[in-house]
Amino acid sequence: MTESQTLQRIHEQAVEEFLEKGFRGASLREIVKKLGVTTGAFYGYYKSKESLFDALVEPHARKLAEIYATKLNEFNALPQEQQIAMMSAFSKAGILDMYAYAKDHRDAFRLILLASEGTRWENYIHDLVKKEFESTHQFYEMIQQEGQRALNPTLSHILVSGMFSSFFELIIHEIPEEEGLRCVEELYAFYMAGWRRLFHLPGDQV
């Protein structure tokens, strides 16, 4: 068996162990036992449970955050009139890009969502929500008209959190590609209609 094949087997067994028991409950000894390799051989690849979990999660967590940040930065660089006109298009493109990537790397995000307590990734979704919450309020303040009521921060945080939670539910479950894309588009349309009403923006096309 080649080194790359051995590493793939380690990753597959680790994903199974982490998803079954969570990071805290997972055992390197059990992973090694099921692999049928020596502990010494395993430590030639990873020195700790933390480094193994990071190897499974970090590249994909960072890439998804990069996809989100790139789209957000492109939107923020637009003049105000274009931001208002293109908010729907940017939001939809962003969520579809994020879904496509997360779907293709489902194991990494299932680990973050279901098994990351006790790791540096346990607040990953919370951090995305925080960035989106801040961006939402920045956009609202930009378009707010005189006499218009301020956006309720509690409500907007709940809505942003709910949107991300709903999005990642689609990643947790084994949903066929066509159905998953349809769900993403309908989820987007549902939330965008609500945001348009809160923002007092014209138009129903989302």
For the chain, the domains span 1-47, 57-199
Q: Which of the pair, 141 or 63, is modelled with greater confidence? A: 63
pLDDT band at 147 (very low <50, low <70, confident <90, very high): low
In the chain the first and final C-alpha atoms are separated, in Å, by 52
What pLDDT score was predicted for residue 206? 42
List the CATH code of the domain at 57-199.
1.10.357
Percentage of residues in the chain having pLDDT higher than 90: 56
Domain 1-47 listed as CATH 1.10.10.60: yes
For 86-91, the CB contacts below 8 A with 24+ separation are 87/139, 87/201, 88/192, 88/205, 88/206, 91/188, 91/192
pLDDT band at 101 (very low <50, low <70, confident <90, very high): very high
Tokens for 82?
């274009």
Q: Do 95 and 171 touch, CB atoms closer than 8 A?
A: no
- Reported as a single tens digit per residue, the pLDDT across 81-94 is 888 888 888 888 99
* Range from 61-65, 68-72, 149-153, 189-193 carrying the lowest mean pLDDT: 149-153
Q: Do 61 and 112 touch, CB atoms closer than 8 A?
A: yes
